[in-house]
Amino acid sequence: MKEKDERWIPERDPSMGEHTQAGCENRRLEKICSKFLEGTGPEADVVISSRVRLARNIRDHLFPPLASNLQRKNILQLCREILQEEEERFSRFQFLELDSISGVFKQVLVEKHLISPLMARENVCSALCLREDETLGIMINEEDHIHIQCMLPGLQLEQAWQEASLLDDCLENQASYAFHEELGYLTACPTTVGTGLRASVMLHLPALVITRQINRILFALNKVGLVLQGIYGESTDFTGNLFQVSNQITLGQSEDEIWQNLYGVTRQLINQEKKAREHLLNEGRERLDDRSGRALGVMRYARVLGVQEVMQLISDVRLGLDLGLVRDISAGTLNKLLALTQPGCLQYLKGRELSAYEQDLERAAQVQKFLDC
Amino acid sequence: MKEKDERWIPERDPSMGEHTQAGCENRRLEKICSKFLEGTGPEADVVISSRVRLARNIRDHLFPPLASNLQRKNILQLCREILQEEEERFSRFQFLELDSISGVFKQVLVEKHLISPLMARENVCSALCLREDETLGIMINEEDHIHIQCMLPGLQLEQAWQEASLLDDCLENQASYAFHEELGYLTACPTTVGTGLRASVMLHLPALVITRQINRILFALNKVGLVLQGIYGESTDFTGNLFQVSNQITLGQSEDEIWQNLYGVTRQLINQEKKAREHLLNEGRERLDDRSGRALGVMRYARVLGVQEVMQLISDVRLGLDLGLVRDISAGTLNKLLALTQPGCLQYLKGRELSAYEQDLERAAQVQKFLDC
């Protein structure tokens, strides 16, 4: 495990001369646009990513929300020791204490779904232990002592579950988890008690939105114990036609039942989205072509771009791409654009804080630069 | 004077093979995009064109609205004879009987402001005698027996008046005009009695629209005997930020007073528009840049474009061009696009009638093709 990570360069380096600005920006861009965003993986035209998170706590220690700073520090130390016991396994992991990084970079981690918004805000003695490829990580002192997270591109719930579970087994060898015979794993929030498992998929559902079927689906999902949210956990903001579906229930079902239930429903959603796309194509191919064409035109030529607008534009172009109407652009490019146009990533890229208006200008400039590459 | 004009090819030639389609389209495009649209002339960044029209009638003949078809035919014959008397002067003019051309081509002539919408609708024994460069023409059997029209690019009211007046003198040598010692020239409509002179300028006033000063100006113009209309004579539709300002009064003022009054007011309007542009630039250069950039992006990438939308987009790009924000495009290109995207021109270009939706598709395709040239 690397303590000091060269990849996580500081946002602003006073010794950095003008002539190295471009080089730094390129290195930062590489970090934002991780391999994860290539747009590969099964069902990648609808499923952006699959994620499994396991909540675990160390026996006889207060849960983080109730723990003092000293107690949180002890937990962090304890976790560090557990990881060090398995040094070889964690040789390709990086250990990042959140106290030591800037607000902007925390925001980058949130935007990349590597830490939660809560952890970015309240992070005394919090840490992220993340594998090089960024698909497997451990959050320490979030809501629980340990959140193991595996996030894979496309529809790969089973693989995500297996990877997370393997890491869980390995930690359990060293740590003594808070576990109750009847209830299962004990967690800070009652809704995660039991398996401690939260499985989710991030979906791009433009056709279900355009054809106004999404509200019906939202209602139906609630009935089968699933919840639909925006990609940053908002309950109503589905900017960019991006949705996160996850299980509500963690108790009374086995881990396999949980991810399999989500997997089955996701398969149905994929089918419905594809049918809706087919329908839109048959109803008016030119209208769809126009929609994605205009979006690409605005992305290439606008000088001021808001984050919500760019997410919608990316969605429109992506739909055109998935339907074979748009060429000369890849799903990977669009995924990366979605990442780098977020407020945190943009500011990180420029190496300084930007006002909202400066962000809108910079966003447009970066989009054009990126599309011209 | 040429009776048969090779430049006015029929809209659909059954003998025209597939392989000549592109060639025909190019010839038609040339005809739509006459030299007049090069975007030259004084004050061309605000004044699209200057126009002077003189209404005249032959003594002792009923005005066209009251005349029978036979009487209209006689007038047409009489006018033809008058023109033939001055054969040399009219050697570079073309004579076009409106009965003999298709509805689509009549619409083209209206869109190019070479005939009036009235003349396109009611055209028994009507004719247009037009000089090669399309700046000087005579409409026969419109509302009056003779409408002499001179239209020049940019602000050239004096020149337009002089050219029209010269042609008028020449006709008056041959014809005996209906003239009243006190009232002046007698015309079908009481509002043109007197000088029979209608002078107008076509203006592009985007900054006065954006800064919402246009309503105040509209009100002020009425007070000085001028009227503001859309470019096709509509009283409220100012699509594309295009306005036509003309004199209301033709009686009690000399010809020079009429065009000079319009000229003076036009100069003021130009100043106000330029001040408003300066103000917009100072307030937010990027916003303006964004506006014209987006417009160009949509023009380059849309697949379905309505006529009103394209006029607004052209206006936005033109403003950016005039302010030095947009490059790689000329005023001439935008003027020509404005012409060729009108419904009549589009259908004429394709050589057949198109439904409204087909027009929207064809409009987008032609805009892209033209911008790629």
**With an 8 Å Cβ cutoff, are A294 and B300 in contact?**
no
> Is residue B17 helix, strand or coil?
coil
pLDDT digits (tens, 9 = 90+) for B322-365: 999 998 899 999 999 999 999 999 999 999 999 999 999 999 99
**B212 close to A (CB below 8 A):** no
**Direct distance between the N- and C-terminal alpha carbons of chain A, in angstroms, rounded to an integer:** 35
Report the distance separating Cα B19 and Cα A285, nearest Å. 28
Cβ-proximal residues to A279 (8 Å cutoff; 6+ apart), any chain? A207, A211
Render pLDDT for A124-161 as a digit per residue (tens, 0 to 9): 899 999 998 899 999 999 999 999 999 999 999 999 99
Q: Inter-chain contact B289–A303, Cβ cutoff 8 Å? A: yes
A287 close to B (CB below 8 A): yes
What are the C-alpha distances in Å from A59 to residues A86, A145, B68?
20, 10, 107
Q: Which residues in chain A touch residue B368, judged by CB atoms under 8 angstroms apart?
A: none
Contact A304 B286 (CB under 8 A): yes
Q: Is A361 on the interface with B (CB under 8 A)?
A: yes
Q: Considering only CA atoms, which of B3, B14, B9, B4 is closest in space to residue B26?
A: B9
Q: Do B302 and A297 touch (CB under 8 A)?
A: yes
In this prediction, residue A16 has a pLDDT band, given cuts at 50, 70 and 90, of very low
Partner B contacted by A328 (CB < 8 A) = no
Residue B9's pLDDT is 40
Which of A290, A293, A302 lies nearest to residue B294, judging by beta carbons? A302
Interface A–B counts its CB contacts (< 8 A) at 51
Distance from CA of B214 to the nearest CA of A (A): 27
Residues 168-197 of B with CB under 8 A from A: none
Q: What is the pLDDT of residues A39-97, one digit of tens each?
A: 889 999 999 999 999 999 999 999 998 999 999 999 999 999 888 888 888 888 999 99
pLDDT at A5: 45
Taking only Cα atoms into account, the Rg of chain B, rounded to an integer number of angstroms, comes to 21
Contacts of A300 in chain B (CB under 8 A): 297, 300-301
* Chain A residues near residue B296 by CB distance under 8 angstroms: 297, 301
What band does B88 get if pLDDT is binned at 50, 70 and 90? confident
Supply the pLDDT for residue A1: 57
pLDDT confidence of residue A83: 86
Contact B222, B179 (CB under 8 A): no
* H-only helix segments in chain A: 21-32, 69-85, 103-111, 117-121, 157-174, 206-210, 214-223, 255-301, 307-322, 331-340, 343-350, 356-372
Q: CB–CB of B192/B198 below 8 Å?
A: yes
**Chain B residue closest to A365 (CA)?**
B290
Residue B4: per-residue pLDDT: 46
What are the tens digits of pLDDT across the range B224-257? 889 888 887 766 678 999 999 999 877 788 999 9
Residue ranges of alpha helices (H) inside chain B are: 21-32, 69-85, 103-111, 117-121, 157-174, 206-210, 214-223, 255-283, 285-301, 307-322, 331-340, 343-350, 356-372
State whether A303 and B297 contact (CB < 8 Å): no
For the stretch A169-179, pLDDT in tens is: 999 888 889 99
Using the beta-carbon criterion (under 8 Å), do B300 and A303 form an inter-chain contact? Answer: no
User: Which residues is B352 bridged to in the sheet?
Assistant: none
What's the pTM?
0.87
Cβ B297–A293 below 8 Å, yes or no? Answer: no
Query: Does A140 lie at the interface with B, CB-CB under 8 angstroms?
Result: no
Q: Which of B1-15, B81-95, B148-162 has the highest mean pLDDT?
A: B148-162
**Interface contact B294, partner A, CB < 8 A:** yes
pLDDT above 90: residue B70: yes
